[in-house]
C-alpha cells in the first residue's frame, strides 16, 4: 500500500490515547502462560508482532481467549505442550529470541521460524549463551529457522557484550527453568520489563546495578494492566516538536526509566515537553505527556543513552534535522541489525528529503536546521518504524512524499494514521 503525505498547514492539536506497549504485551502472554492458574491481561496490543506471540502460545497448548476488545483471559496449567506444527514468529524478533529461552528447557523439540525479514536477523546473540547453559539449537548459520531440542539446563554467569533486553530476557527465561542460579551482566542497563514482570509474578529474581540474577521459580497468575507504548508515542512526540503550531497530549504512556530516553534527549535539546501525571500500574510507571512545538538545539546521543531509545533513533534522527547545530548519534551499531539496516536506510531517506546527514558506522552526524524538500518516493524495507518516521517527515516537507509498503505500520501500530488524523479534527 502506498501512502501520500503532505505538509501540515495548521499544526496538530488535541489529545490521543497511545496504544498498548508492545514489549509488555509480548511478555504478558509469555509469562502468564507459564503460570498455573487464571490470569487477566488488560489493554493487550493488537499489533501483528504481539498476535504472533499469542498464536504461538496457543499452539503450545495454552487457553487464551479475548474476553473484551483488548482483554485476554489466560488459563494455564503452567505446562507447555508439544506443538503439532512449527512455530511461526512472523516478523517478531522479540517472539523468537525470548521464546528460544523458554523452549530450550522443555521436554519436547520445536522449530521457530519467521518471515523473510526475521529470517535475516542475527540469532547468535541468544544461541551462544543458551548453548553454554546446555541447550541444543541448530540454525541456518545463526539465523532462523531455529531447531530447538529440549534439554535440562544449568545456570550460568553471562557477561553480555551488548546491552540488549531481548538477549537478557532470553537468558533469564532459560534460567527460570534451569538448575542453579543464572546471572546476566550488561555494559549498560537495557529495558527492564522482564525483570519487573517476573518480580511482579513471584519469581526468585534480584537486580544489582547492571546485573540481574534468577533461580528456578514458579510464576503466580496475575492481573496485568498494560500502559501505552512509549516507542509508539515517540512519533507523536516528534510531530508535536517539529510541526509548527502543534500542541499534543499523549495519555497513558509507559514511563519506565529504561525506556524514556527520548524524553531525556528531547529535554536536552530544549524541547517543550512535560509529564502531567504519574502512577504505578502492574509494576510499571505510567503517565501523561504534553508536547509543544519547539525551537530545538543539537546534542550528542551515545553510550548509556542508546539502550533506552534504540527503537526511537530513526525518528530522533528526523527530529535532529530540525535542531540548530551538529547532532551526533553514535554507539548505535545495533541499528544495522533491526528489521532493516536503520542507519543506512534512515540516512539515505533523510538526505533524499534535503537533510544534511552523514552516515557513520555506528550512527549519524546531522547538521541542522534544514528545511525538508520532500517530493520523493521512500522505501520502507518492511520496517514499521521507518514507515512512521517518514510519515512524520512528510508533515514538514515542502512537497508531498510517497511512502511505499506503508502497511508495515500494522506490525506494531495499526492505529497510527487514525490517531494522527484525530489531531487534525
Of the candidates 236, 384, 370, which has an alpha carbon nearest to the alpha carbon of residue 311? 384
Separation of alpha carbons 129 and 187, rounded Å: 16
Reply yes or no on whether 141 is catalytic: no
Dihedral over alpha carbons 87, 93, 96, 98 (to 10 degrees): -140
Closest Cα to residue 162, out of 345, 332, 339? 332
Query: DSSP character for 102?
Result: H
Closest CA to 249 of 421, 422, 15: 15
> How many other CB atoms are found less than 10 A from the CB of residue 245?
12
Collapsing DSSP to helix, strand or coil, 262 comes out as helix
For residue 85, the 8-state DSSP code is S
Cα gap 367→395, rounded to integer Å: 20
Which cell numbers hold the place of 141? 548459520
In Å, what is the CA distance from 39 to each residue of 74, 101, 285, 331?
5, 22, 21, 40
Task: Give the DSSP letter string of 310-335.
Answer: GGGHHHHHHHHTTEEEEEEE-S-GGG
* DSSP for residue 419: H
- The cell numbers describing 317, all together, are 534522527
DSSP for 327-371, written as a single string: EEE-S-GGGGGSSS-HHHHHHHHHHHTT-EEEEETTEEEEEE---
Q: Could you give the 3-state DSSP secondary structure of residue 291?
A: strand
**Chain centre to alpha carbon of residue 72:** 21
Q: Where are the alpha helices (DSSP H) in 34-136?
A: 48-59, 93-103, 124-132
Catalytic member of 305, 311, 334, 383? 311
Element (H, E) at 38: strand 37-42
CA 112 – CA 147 distance, rounded (Å): 7
Find all residues with CB under 8 Å of 132, minimum gap 6, and list them: 156, 158
Please give the positions annotated as active site: 311
Amino acid at each position: 500500500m502506498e501512502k501520500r503525505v503532505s505538509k501540515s498547514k495548521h499544526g496538530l492539536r488535541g489529545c490521543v490515547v497511545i496504544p498498548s506497549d508492545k514489549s509488555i504485551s509480548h511478555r504478558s502472554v509469555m509469562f502468564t502462560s507459564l503460570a498455573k492458574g487464571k490470569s487477566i491481561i488488560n489493554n493487550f496490543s493488537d499489533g501483528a508482532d504481539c498476535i504472533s506471540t499469542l498464536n504461538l502460545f496457543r499452539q503450545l497448548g495454552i487457553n487464551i481467549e479475548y474476553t473484551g476488545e483488548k482483554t485476554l483471559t489466560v488459563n494455564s496449567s503452567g505446562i507447555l505442550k508439544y506443538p503439532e506444527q512449527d512455530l511461526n514468529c512472523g516478523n517478531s524478533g522479540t517472539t523468537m529470541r525470548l521464546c528460544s529461552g523458554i523452549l530450550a528447557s522443555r521436554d519436547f523439540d520445536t522449530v521457530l521460524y519467521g518471515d523473510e525479514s526475521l529470517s535475516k536477523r542475527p540469532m547468535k546473540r541468544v544461541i551462544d549463551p543458551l548453548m553454554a547453559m546446555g541447550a541444543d539449537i541448530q540454525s541456518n548459520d545463526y539465523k532462523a529457522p531455529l531447531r530447538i531440542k529440549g534439554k535440562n539446563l544449568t545456570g550460568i554467569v553471562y557477561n553480555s557484550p551488548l546491552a540488549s533486553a531481548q538477549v537478557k530476557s532470553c537468558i533469564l527465561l532459560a534460567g527460570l527453568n534451569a538448575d542453579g542460579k543464572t546471572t546476566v551482566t550488561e555494559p549498560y542497563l537495557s529495558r527492564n520489563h522482564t525483570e519487573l514482570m517476573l518480580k511482579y509474578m513471584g519469581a526468585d529474581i534480584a537486580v544489582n546495578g547492571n546485573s540481574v540474577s534468577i533461580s528456578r521459580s514458579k510464576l503466580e497468575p496475575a492481573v496485568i494492566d498494560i500502559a501505552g507504548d512509549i516507542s509508539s508515542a515517540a512519533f507523536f512526540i516528534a510531530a508535536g516538536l517539529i510541526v509548527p503550531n502543534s500542541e499534543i497530549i499523549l495519555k497513558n504512556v509507559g514511563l519506565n526509566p529504561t525506556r524514556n530516553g527520548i524524553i531525556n534527549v528531547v529535554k536536552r535539546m530544549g524541547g517543550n515537553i512535560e509529564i502531567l501525571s504519574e502512577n504505578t500500574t502492574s509494576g510499571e510507571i505510567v503517565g501523561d505527556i504534553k508536547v509543544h512545538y519547539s525551537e530545538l538545539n543539537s546534542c550528542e546521543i551515545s553510550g548509556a543513552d542508546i539502550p533506552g531509545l534504540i527503537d526511537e533513533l530513526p525518528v530522533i534522527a528526523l527530529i535532529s534535522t530540525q535542531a540548530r547545530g551538529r547532532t551526533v548519534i553514535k554507539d548505535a551499531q545495533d541499528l544495522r541489525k533491526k528489521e532493516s539496516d536503520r542507519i543506512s536506510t534512515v540516512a539515505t531517506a533523510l538526505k533524499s528529503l534535503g537533510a544534511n546527514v552523514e552516515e557513520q558506522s555506528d550512527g549519524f552526524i546531522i547538521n541542522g536546521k534544514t528545511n525538508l524538500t520532500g517530493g520523493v518516493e521512500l522505501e520502507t524495507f518492511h520496517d514499521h518504524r521507518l514507515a512512521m518516521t517518514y510519515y512524520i517527515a512528510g508533515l514538514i516537507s515542502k512537497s508531498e512524499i510517497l511512502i511505499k509498503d506503508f502497511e508495515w505500520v500494522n506490525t506494531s501500530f495499526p492505529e497510527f494514521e487514525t490517531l494522527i488524523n484525530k489531531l487534525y479534527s
